[in-house]
Amino acid sequence: MNFFKQTFVIILLVLISGCNSKSKNHEEKPKPDQQLKLSVKKEIDQFDEKENDKFLLTDNNVINFLFDYEKNNKENLVRIFTQFGNIDIQLFDNTPYHRSNFIYLTKKKYFDGTQFYRVINDFVIQAGNSDNIKISEKRREIGKYLLPNDFDKGHTHQRGMVSMPSSSVDNPYKMASPFEFFIVQKKDGAHHLDGSYTIFGKVVDGMKTVDQIANLPTDDRDWPFNNVYINRVEIINNN
């Protein structure tokens, strides 16, 4: 009798164990550490999707983008704030890609924290770059592109004109570097630059500030010994 009881108990335990095993398999869930890994992976995938969805300007899309952007962003007057004073610039409507590019970068706050990094008295002051890595990061977040030249709009490099330098890369068509600009400070102009760089604006107030910056002492690379920062650039009209 004891033998049969023992046998029955053993069989019963085996059956119960089998039922529990099936139940556990049916309701199996990731362990807490696995669940955490899945959660982290999901967040990484979502982040990657957001990064991939981030809009970047390129040589292929910039003209179409600025063509559409120009329609709804007609502002043409900006103010540059520096420690030496303000410089007000009127952007020309007949250079629409360059005007809208400058407005776009202003609204993206790209110029804030850049510098007048090339200063040559009785010639030009050039801005839009910096030795700060944050500026390079800003550029990467906006995109990598050049703008076509726009020479034939009747503008010449007179004193106070704002122009866009060409890219330093191999550039037979003199494509413009969209993140930088220079202001002609030379009293009788810099007309030897005509036909090589796109003039897209002029200083309407603040040439005293331009002259003050131009007279600063510089190193052998024309970089001022004391950095001249653009604190910010603001749009001051709503045309």
d(CA 135, CA 63): 23
pLDDT in tens, 34-50: 333 344 444 434 444 44
Instruction: Please report, for the chain, the start and end positions of each structural domain, with discontinuous segments joined by +.
Output: 2-53, 57-235
Q: Could you report the per-residue pLDDT of 219-232, keeping only the tens digit for each?
A: 999 999 999 999 99
Residues near 235 by beta carbon (within 8 Å), at least 6 away in sequence? 75, 77, 78, 103, 106, 107
- Look up the CATH superfamily of 57-235: Cyclophilin-like (2.40.100.10)
DSSP states of 130-188: -SSHHHHHHHHHHEE--B-----SS----TTEEEEPBPSSS-TT--B-TT-EEEE--TT
- What CA–CA distance (Å, rounded) separates 25 from 29? 9
Cα distance between residue 124 and residue 207, in whole Å: 12
Higher pLDDT, 151 or 114: 114
Q: Is it the case that residue 208 has pLDDT exceeding 60?
A: yes
Q: What is the mean pLDDT of residues 194-214?
A: 96
Coil/strand/helix, residue 198: strand
CA 15, 16, 21, 22 torsion: positive or negative?
Answer: positive
SS3 227: coil
